[in-house]
Amino acid sequence: MFGLTFLAVFALSALFYALARNKAAVLGGDTPRILHSRPNYHGFLAFLLSAIAGILVLLVVWVLWGAWIESRFIASILDAQPDLSPIEVELALSDARALSEGGIASRTDALREQVAREISGQTALHHYGTMILSLVAAAAAGLWCLRASHVGWRARNRSETIIRRLLALMAVIAVATTAGIVLSLIFETLNFFNNIDWQVHKFLFGTTWSPLSGVQEGKLDPDKVGAIPLFAGTLLITVIAMLVATPIGLFAAIYLSDFASAGVRAWAKPMLEILAGIPTVVYGFFAAITLAPFLRNTGESVGLSIASESALAAGVVMGIMIIPFISSLSDDVINAVPQSLRDGSYGLGATKAETIRQVVLPAALPGIVSAVLLGISRAVGETMIVVMAAGQGANLTANPLEAVTTVTVQIVMLITGDTEASTAAGPAFTLGFTLFCMTLLMNVVAQRIVRKYRELYD
Amino acid sequence: MLDDQKSMERVMADEDTKITAKGVDVFYGDTHAIKSVDVNIQNRAVTAFIGPSGCGKSTFLRCINRMNDTIDICRVTGDIHLDGQDIYARDVDPVQLRARVGMVFQKPNPFPKSIYDNVSYGPKIHGLAKNKAELDEIVEKSLRRAAIWDEVKDRLDAPGTGLSGGQQQRLCIGRAIATAPEVLLMDEPCSALDPIATAQVEELIDELRQDFTVVIVTHSMQQAARVSQKTAFFHLGNLVEYGETDKIFTNPEDPRTESYITGRIG
Ligand SMILES: Nc1ncnc2c1ncn2[C@@H]1O[C@H](COP(=O)(O)OP(=O)(O)O)[C@@H](O)[C@H]1O
Ligand SMILES: [Mg+2]
């Protein structure tokens, strides 16, 4: 019904578009130059005004009327059975809703059936009423616009203003959503710190992570929320991943941009991009099912004991995942080094290798550094691979052959575990917030570097 | 008597000729950019290549230090000799050749390094200095020779990209001089410069001919007339006319040269 009303408002606005345009065309007649705005803009303004009025009324009336009806139902339920708890009232209401739509309720009794009848009556009124009001609003706005328009009607300026405001509104929505997420992260983080009596240092520097084992009446044990093992695990896996990804990615980029023939480049670049398109969950089970057992068997044959879930397996696979990221960004910056610099170097009798090492790479270095930083923030935030391949035990170790756990894995464990959400959310959000800060910092640094690099050539 | 005179002339010509090109053709894929060009370039003189754009001046210039080798689709046939040695012979390494035949490009292209590092780049690569003191000396000499030493001597550590366009181009000339080349190729070295910087660079080119064989491509006929002793006029990949600059500009033989100089083609 809501969707239908929406479409109806649009259809009506489209009608006003045609009417207003027509009127302007008639006003212009044989001398269209006397119109301030071209007929299209007359139509467009009528369309905008009518659609905005209709949709605004639709949203406001729909929501307010709905809320008002609901409060009436609740009142009538409470009238009949005043001693119901709020949850039971909710239940009765949702049962009645189900009954009125012919669905299945958890219980049927006289009260529920009576409310269901009320709902059926009210709902139709609500829906049709809203529809009529919206259409009336749309029509009023459209008619006003149609009547107000004349030869000097500044339809272009007005519609441009409206469009500008709509764009600004969208920008505000995007920014506000981000701000909302960050604020809720901060709020939950503060909540969590409050829960552990503001012993923030125990979270930041503690070495025992087992937050849900010390819960008493919703209160966490500050001695069991030390996040150091998680940060250490994240760091270990990130380092392994970057040790794999940086050299391979960078050398691949150098080869592709300066050595490969056009033919090789034509198929090698898309191949790398395909690598970037593989979902991380595939990498994850590749790590868990193929690489980890392979590592363990190889380790055994040389007398090393490698855990079946190891930082090494997760890190190597994560590195493979990041290779295309580093190589394609580096390839871009290496290609962005002007050919004239290369020519200058060749012209002095430098070889290709000398040119790349002494002219191209130094010139591209800032871009490469930022590619690596962006790769690191990918690695830090990566979840699927580590969930599958790195383990869940919060080990504090620097040995890549053992199982470790990361910040992201623990967030997954907390949120999907069967502990009550209100308890588990605190540490999860706090970890998330910490992660957010780390990634943000790295992205900011990376962007700074890139900007500096741009200035160098302009 | 007649024979004697002829052989005398040949000896004279040989001593005076730095570069000899015979039957040079250049192709970019299927495009025939240079058509059977013969030319002798005089030692310690400035030779100008002029002609309408797209006629192959740059292409021919780049044959002389084998810069065309860096373009995949480019193919060069014919003979080019530097001091009597075939530069397209199998045993010639283009990298060594380019140390002997330096190049300055249309757009100043200093490396994003310090002024000092820009100039010392070539000498370091070719191992021309045994120690830091020698390197310092080469840098100073080259920058003096490029008439820019006084402007940059106090900021050798500043980035070369921070200089003005004219200074950058003189820095690039200094950079080319630092590898002690015998020939300097310049591809429209002033086309990105303002008139004052152009005048400075032209003056410099005139001085450089004491030590180097200079070949300059230019689209400005006034510039060719001002700085060069010999001029070669290219048209549609052909070398139409080649001779003393004065003669080309005052009394051209080919009608195409004349129409170009008087501004009817171009
Ligand atoms: N890298 C290249 N690839 C293909 N064709 C080229 C290339 N460089 C030059 N050409 C062609 O060769 C011809 C001569 O070019 P060029 O030597 O640059 O002329 P000029 O320097 O006299 O303006 C032109 O037709 C041009 O299109
Ligand atoms: Mg050119």
Domain B2-261, CATH number (from 3.30.2010.10, 3.90.110.10, 3.40.50.300, 2.40.10.10): 3.40.50.300
**Confidence category of residue B7, pLDDT binned at 50, 70, 90:** very low
Which ligand is nearest to the Cα of residue B188, counting in written order?
2
Amino acid at the residue A104: I
Contact criterion met (CB below 8 Å) for A390 and A230 = no
Quote the pLDDT of residue B219.
87
Look at residue B16 in the predicted model and tell me its pLDDT.
85
Are B119 and B178 in contact by the 8 Å Cβ rule? The answer is yes
Query: Taking the mean position of all CA atoms in its chain, how far away is CA A109?
Result: 45
DSSP labels for B67-110? GGGGSTTEEEEEEEEETTEETTSTT--HHHHHHHEEEE-SS---
Cβ–ligand 1 contact at B179 (below 6 Å): no
Average pLDDT for A26-46: 92
**8 Å CB contact between B151 and B167:** yes
Contact B251 CB / ligand 1 (< 6 Å):
no
Ligand 1, atom 2: closest residue by C-alpha:
B28
Tell me the per-residue pLDDT of B196-215, one tens digit each, with 9 for 90 and over: 989 999 999 999 999 999 99
pLDDT score at A261: 87
Helix H, strand E, coil C: the string for B9-75 is HHHHHHHHEEEEEEEEEEEECCEEEEEEEEEEEECCCEEEEECCCCCCHHHHHHHHCCHHHHCCCEE
B192 burial class (0-12, 13-18, 19+ CB within 10 angstroms)?
Answer: middle
Arithmetic mean of pLDDT, A373-389: 91
pTM of the model: 0.77
**CB–CB of A340 and B176 under 8 A?**
no
CB of A363 within 8 Å of a chain B CB? The answer is yes
| Dist CA A293 CA A136 (whole Å) | 69
Decide if A362 and B113 are in contact by the 8 Å CB cutoff.
yes
- How many Å lie between the centroid of ligand 2 and the Cα of residue A343? 14
Q: CB neighbours (10 Å) of residue A250?
A: 21
User: Which tokens in the block code for residue A316?
Assistant: 């190597």
Closest CA to A97 of A122, A128, A129: A122
β-bridge pairing B230-235 and B238-244:
antiparallel
Q: What is the mean pLDDT of residues A65-84?
A: 89
Nearest-atom index, ligand 1, CA of B237:
14
Residues of B in contact with A349 (CB under 8 A): 95-99, 122, 125-126, 179
In the A/B pair of chains, how many CB contacts fall below 8 A? 69
Residue A144 has pLDDT above 50, yes or no: yes
Q: Where are the domains of chain B?
A: 2-261
Inter-chain contact B67–A261, Cβ cutoff 8 Å? no
What confidence score (pLDDT) does residue B9 get? 46
Of all residues in chain A, what percent carry a pLDDT higher than 90? 56
User: What pLDDT does residue B265 have?
Assistant: 63
What are residue A207's phi and psi, to 5 degrees?
-110, 5
Residue A60 has pLDDT above 90, yes or no: yes
* Ligand 1 pocket check for B31: Cβ under 6 Å: yes
Using pLDDT thresholds of 50, 70 and 90, give the confidence band for residue A173: very high
* ipTM of the shown complex: 0.89
Extract the tokens encoding A48: 């905008």
| Domains assigned to chain A | 2-153 (no CATH), 223-454 (1.10.3720.10)
B41 CB less than 6 Å from ligand 1?
no
For residue B71, the ligand 1 atom closest to its alpha carbon is: 1
Comparing CA positions, the residue from B251, B201, B243, B194 lying closest to residue B226 is B201
